[in-house]
Structure 1
Amino acid sequence: MLDRGLGAAVVAASCLLAGPALAADPPAVQGNVQAGAQKVSMCIGCHGIPGYKAAYPELYHVPMIAGQNAPYIVAALKEYASGARSFPTMDAIARSLSEQDMADVAAYYSSLK
Structure 2
Amino acid sequence: MISMKKHLLLTQLALCAGFALASLSVQAADVQGSAKAGQGKVWLCVGCHAIPDYRADYPFVYKVPMIGGQNAAYIASALSAYKKGERKHPTMRAIAGSLSDQDMADIGEYYAAQTAATPPNPLK
Same fold (TM over 0.5): yes
- Specify which of 90, 96, 102 is matched with residue 104 of structure 2: 102
- Specify which of 39, 42, 45 is matched with residue 40 of structure 1: 42
Give the alignment's Cα RMSD to 1 decimal.
1.2
Q: Which has the larger radius of gyration?
A: 1
Work out the CA distance in 2 between the residues paired with 1:76 and 1:87. Answer: 11
- TM-score, normalised to structure 1's length? 0.76
1:68 aligns with 2:59: no
Query: Structure 1: which 4+ aligned runs deviate by more than 6 Å?
Result: none
Which is richer in helix?
Answer: 1
Work out the CA distance in 2 between the residues paired with 1:29 and 1:66. Answer: 21
- Specify which of 75, 79, 90 is matched with residue 77 of structure 1: 79
Q: Which consecutive unaligned segments of at least 5 residues does structure 1 have?
A: 1-21
Deviation at residue 103 of structure 1 after TM alignment: 0.4
- Aligned-residue identity in percent: 54
- Specify the code of the residue in structure 2 equivalent to 1:89: T
Work out the CA distance in 2 between the residues paired with 1:40 and 1:74. Answer: 13
- TM-score, normalised to structure 2's length? 0.70
Q: Which consecutive unaligned segments of at least 5 residues does structure 2 have?
A: 1-21, 116-124
Deviation at residue 80 of structure 1 after TM alignment: 0.1
| Equivalence for 1:87 | 89
| Equivalence for 1:13 | none
The count of residues paired between Structure 1 and Structure 2 equals 90
